[in-house]
């Protein structure tokens, strides 16, 4: 016979209308332990459609939108967004699947070998034959040229990996990525071989051989990337408008521990040989306090013209909230 107090408790509970036994969702043990913001590793199970994949993560299979070049078995780094009412993930802003220690070691050896070799090309050459500013007419707004130069440097391939990360975050379009040398080479090889544009020649070759794992056409560009990253320095050369060549150098002050970004000094130098003004060399040094300018010209008349235009330049810079700290115009 059941105890009286247990019978009374059951009778009282039955009056509430609640079931004595309630089904609970079958949540995997792993999923119960994770929290929003936590990063975990997932594995690609299958491709559902273009850019949509089934991924195994935290004991569950979920559908995620991922870069189209992933394959079954690839590992991806995910971040937990929510755990209730169901667990959801987002891809961590990384453009590559997780790598094994062996793969990381092989990649490090390749990059170390490249960094030790003499720089094959000192100058980053313009991609393609089109001028930065394609019109032969005079510029009505120099900001347009500045924007065009920035865009051209962005397409040089030096910043490709950071642009991939922007693409993952939706901040850069696929068409913009396809304009960079790394993808132009893939497209060229694909057209020649009749293969798929997803993979390049070097992608499936052993990582131990430097010349096999990186296409030889891109070796100089990878070297330039390493040089730019280490020395904060690059030199670009190309056609700024039809028939006019320019060499452009950018140098950043090395970062100091604890130094704010706005206190770093940046300098840029440009060399042109102009039909009417002759050879021009301009050096601009930027700090958080303002700009220092040095102009070298081979022609005496050009020097006089530049000196006469300095007040106008100072006013224009002032309108842009840039102080002209010093300016010198002289022969080299």
Token digits for 124?
């980053």
Q: What pTM, to 2 d.p., does this model score?
A: 0.60
- Asked if the structure places residue 237 within a domain, the reply is no
- Asked if the structure places residue 307 within a domain, the reply is yes
Residue predicted with more confidence, 81 or 212: 81
- Asked if the structure places residue 127 within a domain, the reply is yes
Cα gap 330→306, rounded to integer Å: 9
Q: What is the pLDDT of residue 269?
A: 96
Q: pLDDT tens for residues 221-238?
A: 888 998 888 888 999 999
The pLDDT mean for the chain works out to 78
Is 166's pLDDT higher than 50?
yes
Tell me the pLDDT band of 169, cut-offs 50, 70 and 90. confident
DSSP string, 264-284: --EEEEEEEEETTTEEEEEEE
168 and 61 co-located in one domain? no
142 and 181 co-located in one domain? yes
The dihedral built from the CA positions of residue 204, 209, 210 and 215, taken in this order, carries a sign that is negative
Q: Mean pLDDT across the stretch 271-276?
A: 94
- Asked if the structure places residue 48 within a domain, the reply is yes
Phi-psi region of 278 (alpha: psi -120 to 50; beta: other; left: phi over 0): left
How does strand 290-297 pair with strand 324-330?
Answer: parallel
| Residues contacting 153, CB < 8 A, separation 6+ | 236
Q: pLDDT tens for residues 42-88?
A: 899 998 887 788 999 888 888 887 776 778 888 888 878 777 767 77
Beta bridge partners of 195: none
| Domains identified in the chain, total number | 3
Structural domain including 119 reads: 110-230
| Residues contacting 241, CB < 8 A, separation 6+ | 131, 132, 133, 134, 135, 136
Q: Are the C-beta atoms of residues 285 and 307 closer than 8 Å to each other?
A: no
Q: Mean pLDDT across the stretch 291-304?
A: 96
209 and 261 co-located in one domain? no
141 and 206 co-located in one domain? yes
- Asked if the structure places residue 187 within a domain, the reply is yes
- Asked if the structure places residue 165 within a domain, the reply is yes
Is 203's pLDDT higher than 70?
no
């Amino acid at each position: 016979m059941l105890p009286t107090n247990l019978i009374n408790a059951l009778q009282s509970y039955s009056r509430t209308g609640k079931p004595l036994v309630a089904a609970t969702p079958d949540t995997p043990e792993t999923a119960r332990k994770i929290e929003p913001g936590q990063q975990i590793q997932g594995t690609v199970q299958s491709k559902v459609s273009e850019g949509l994949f089934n991924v195994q993560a935290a004991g569950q299979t979920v559908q995620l939108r991922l870069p189209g070049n992933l394959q079954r078995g690839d590992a991806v780094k995910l971040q937990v967004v929510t755990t209730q009412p169901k667990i959801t993930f987002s891809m961590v802003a990384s453009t590559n699947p997780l790598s094994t220690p062996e793969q990381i070691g092989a990649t490090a050896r390749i990059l170390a070998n490249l960094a030790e070799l003499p720089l094959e090309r000192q100058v980053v050459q313009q991609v393609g034959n089109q001028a930065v500013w394609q019109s032969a007419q005079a510029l009505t707004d120099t900001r347009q040229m500045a924007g065009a130069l920035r865009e051209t440097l962005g397409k040089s391939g030096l910043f490709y990996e950071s642009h991939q990360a922007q693409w993952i975050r939706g901040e850069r379009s696929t068409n913009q990525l396809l304009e960079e040398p790394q993808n132009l080479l893939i497209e060229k090889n694909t057209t020649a071989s009749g293969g798929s544009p997803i993979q390049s020649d070097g992608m499936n070759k052993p990582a131990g051989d430097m010349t096999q794992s990186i296409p030889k056409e891109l070796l100089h560009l990878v070297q330039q990337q390493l040089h730019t990253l280490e020395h904060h320095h690059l030199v670009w050369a190309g056609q700024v408008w039809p028939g006019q060549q320019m060499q452009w150098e950018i140098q950043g002050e090395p970062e100091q521990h604890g130094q704010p970004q706005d206190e770093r000094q940046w300098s840029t130098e440009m060399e042109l040989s102009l039909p009417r003004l002759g050879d021009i060399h301009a050096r601009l040094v930027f700090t958080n306090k303002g700009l220092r300018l040095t102009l070298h010209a081979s022609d005496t008349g050009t020097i006089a013209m530049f000196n006469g235009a300095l007040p106008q330049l100072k006013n224009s810079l002032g309108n842009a909230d840039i102080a002209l700290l010093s300016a010198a115009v002289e022969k080299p």
